[in-house]
Structure 1
Amino acid sequence: MPLLPVADAQARVLALATPLNVEQVPLSVAAHRYAAKDVVARRTQPASDLSAMDGYAIRHADLGQPLRLIGESAAGRPFAYPVGAGEAVRIFTGATMPAGADCVLVQEEARAAGGTVHLDGEGPAHPGRNVRRRGLDFTEGDVLIAVGAAITPARLAVAAIGGHATLPVRARVRVAIAATGDELVAAGEPIAPGQLPESNGVMLSAMLAPLGVEIVDLGILPDRADVLEAAFRAVDADVLVTTGGASVGDHDLVRPALEAAGASIDFWRIALRPGKPMMAGRLGRTVVLGLPGNPVSAFVTAELFVKPLVRHLAGAADPFPPTLTAVLGEDLPANAERTDYLRAELRGGAAFASTIQDSSMLRTLARSSCLIVRSPHAPAARAGDSAEILMIA
């Protein structure tokens, strides 16, 4: 059976699920979600002309002559009367422009004495100077957040000022994570010969945390078909992520246990390095992704498949991680038949691949800030050539 290209595998993973149901949530809990509908402004901002500077609201036609000071306009306390010929109103940044005034004489270019304001500089160059016009930011009916856009802190702010107290988002994605293997023990526990601290669970949970998911920690499951099958049958989640046991060795029991629990497997081998033995399928309503147990392989497959799937379920318009272009800091050999994701560091604007790319080197991954993407059968590259990279830190 030929290996599945990465892009085809990604498309098939997303095809296993549709975005979750829409719910309306308060702004305070909407961060890290995705807009399920266009968020439209319910008001105009600013709602009226505002001063952009501290100074005096005047008529530009009166510039240069002494002006009678008739009042004050501050934020939240507008001056209630119009400005007529030869008059000025003391005004502060963010305050409403009084009717009749069409510009602001900044205080550094003004001199006030005895209730009269005099020009003491060049003054505003034209009508409208130092004024934030009504609707400068947006007007009622404008789309503030497009459907599928991530709800960032700035977008929360624009939604609030646009008149919204709640936002339409997809339901929070529930992800169950299970590590499998008799050799695994909980981090920090005493280790017997042949055992290994379990690290994938905490890594994957941290990778998914910025996406606002609900994590269901299934812990460490032993290499026992009956235990695995029972655990998988009991899963109540949108996504089940397993690590380890996804290959075809005598002790790789995840696939048969999933099938015994009622899962259908869509694919299980990808033209990818590291991470070839990754599995995808469905168990009832749950999408199942079986990642390799090797932490580096688990990390790369989580970046390429788990996180995009979660974003897709959460309603992201573009769930895949963006790639950038960087300059190679050193020569790279020709690539073989699989897409290769080389752990690398950005130094001085150039990408340097780690000398040893063995997928067991977790410390190498910890030092990396990006992955250099090498297409199948890519020719040798030289330092200074452009390369595609995926940022990971």
Structure 2
Amino acid sequence: MPALLPVVQAQSQLLALARPLAIENVPLAAAAGRWAAADIEALRTQPYADLSAMDGYAIRFADLPGPWRVIGESAAGRAFTGEAEPGDSVRIFTGAPLPGGTDTVLVQEEAARDGGRLSLAGEGPGHRGRNVRRRGLDFSEDDLLVRAGDRLTPAVLALLGTAGHGTLPVRRKVRVAIAATGDELVPPGSLIGPAQLPETNRLMLAAQLADLPVELIDLGILPDRQDALEAAFRAVGADLLVTSGGASVGDHDLVQPALRAVGATIDFWRVALRPGKPMMAGRLGGMLVLGLPGNPVSAFVTTQLFVRPLAAALSGAADPLPRTRRAVLGEPLAPNGDRTDYLRAEQRGGAVFASTIQDSSMLRTLARATCLIVREPGAAAAVSGDSVEILDIA
């Protein structure tokens, strides 16, 4: 029996197998949630000119305290095209370019206008350039805005659109095939006979991947027959095959023998974590394979720790692994054993509370959880108020 592989080592070995997929250029809206496949620079300068940050009057600071002649108007999209001379002012609106010859904006609350004559009605701007957004304040043409591997979040998409981009380079979507194995499994909502069980791991896994750029291929529920498994695995055309169930060593755990029979290599099997120890990773031709345990909580946790990061890495993410944070423990915890433990927990009143039931088949406990408390092998007993490491879950 192979030794248990530490979680960090298993993640490292798994990500070493990932080769980012081919690059494609997609419209901005289609790039949401994906990762940049190349460094991206600004194609234009923003603001493109000195712009007014307020409604008021464009003036020359040296002309204070006035008065001024009003010679025109500048609005966003309708710039004043003339040149202001000393003593001139131009009515200006937020976002409009400053006319030539002006350098400051007198806000309208501090201005008094009588026809074409403008005078100061307050303290006025305190320095040259007041209430002006200078050209290039946000970015300049050729500035590096996004690095390859950065996530294309809503704000980043807005930045790149403003920088002049209409399409972006990303990795193509990951084709992920999902299969459940087990003669006892039936689709949710079906009539359930003796010793049968609704199969929900595929549904759960698909939902866990919903925010990633993947195309799902549902292989359905596969029977506990090696010939059927071999036939299904041979026919898969995907970048990643994920199975649930049948990954251990029982008489009916046939996923690993079936994979080997069709030419797969197993890179590792059995990881030092709880829940999810019997997880398996390998390759079948150009396709990566992850065999998850059939217990639903184990499947959920291993998807968070391995499936999601692998899909992100194939998509070109520079930092695909989930990140933990510190939180205050709200109740005592017993000493941990020799595996990294991921306790289902809830966050309440600024603290985290582990469920009293941590069995890997308990979906009700998982459904209430908002995070996983991560306990390293051999961790000492903890008391309420201690700082613990947690992994947020959706």
Quickly name the TM-score band, shorter chain normalised: over 0.9
Give the aligned partner of residue 28 of structure 1: 29
After superposition, residues 35-54 of structure 1 pair within 5 angstroms as 35-54=36-55
Cα offsets for 1:281-325 (capped at 9, x unmatched)? 000111000000111000000000000000100000000011111
Equivalent residue letter for 2:211? P
Does 2:188 match 1:187? yes
Equivalent residue letter for 1:363? R
Distance 2:89 2:362 in 1: 72
Does 2:336 match 1:335? yes
After superposition, residues 154-233 of structure 1 pair within 5 angstroms as 154-233=155-234
Give the aligned partner of residue 129 of structure 2: 128
Aligned-pair CA distance for 1:262: 1.2
Cα offsets for 1:263-289 (capped at 9, x unmatched)? 111111000000000000000111000
Give the aligned partner of residue 324 of structure 2: 323
SS at match of 1:290: strand
* TM-score, normalization by structure 2: 0.98
Distance 1:163 1:116 in 2: 40
SS at match of 2:25: strand
Cα offsets for 1:51-80 (capped at 9, x unmatched)? 001111111111222211100000011100
Cα offsets for 1:75-105 (capped at 9, x unmatched)? 0111001222111101111111111111111
Distance 1:16 1:33 in 2: 20
Give the aligned partner of residue 278 of structure 1: 279
Aligned-pair CA distance for 1:28: 2.2
Give the aligned partner of residue 299 of structure 2: 298
Equivalent residue letter for 1:168? P
Distance 1:117 1:179 in 2: 77
Cα offsets for 1:95-133 (capped at 9, x unmatched)? 111111111111111111121112111111101110000
Distance 1:352 1:118 in 2: 65
Give the aligned partner of residue 111 of structure 2: 110
SS at match of 2:242: strand
Moved over 4 A (4+): none
How many residue pairs are counted as aligned between the two chains? 393
Give the aligned partner of residue 234 of structure 1: 235
Aligned-pair CA distance for 1:184: 0.6
Give the aligned partner of residue 345 of structure 2: 344
Equivalent residue letter for 1:367? R
SS at match of 2:210: helix
After superposition, residues 50-69 of structure 1 pair within 5 angstroms as 50-69=51-70
- Larger mean CA deviation between 264-273 and 12-21 belongs to 12-21
Distance 1:18 1:212 in 2: 15
Distance 2:368 2:111 in 1: 58
Q: In 1, are the aligned partners of 2:66 and 2:119 still within 8 Å (CA)?
A: yes
Aligned-pair CA distance for 1:331: 1.0
Structure 1 runs not aligned, ≥5 long: none
- Larger mean CA deviation between 15-24 and 46-55 belongs to 15-24
- Larger mean CA deviation between 58-67 and 263-272 belongs to 58-67
Equivalent residue letter for 1:271? A
After superposition, residues 243-282 of structure 1 pair within 5 angstroms as 243-282=244-283
Distance 2:75 2:82 in 1: 14
Aligned-pair identity in percent equals: 69
* TM-score, normalization by structure 1: 0.99
SS at match of 1:228: helix
Aligned-pair CA distance for 1:47: 0.8
Does 2:5 match 1:4? yes
Aligned-pair CA distance for 1:260: 1.1
Equivalent residue letter for 1:297? S
Structure 2 runs not aligned, ≥5 long: none
SS at match of 1:209: coil
Aligned-pair CA distance for 1:350: 1.0
Distance 1:290 1:119 in 2: 75
Distance 2:155 2:98 in 1: 27
SS at match of 2:161: helix
Cα offsets for 1:30-58 (capped at 9, x unmatched)? 11111011110011111110000111111
SS at match of 2:211: helix
Does 2:359 match 1:358? yes
Q: In 1, are the aligned partners of 2:33 and 2:151 still within 8 Å (CA)?
A: yes
Equivalent residue letter for 1:283? L
Give the aligned partner of residue 87 of structure 1: 88
Give the aligned partner of residue 372 of structure 2: 371
Distance 1:185 1:65 in 2: 83
Equivalent residue letter for 2:137? L
Aligned-pair CA distance for 1:355: 1.3
Distance 1:28 1:137 in 2: 22
- Larger mean CA deviation between 273-282 and 74-83 belongs to 74-83
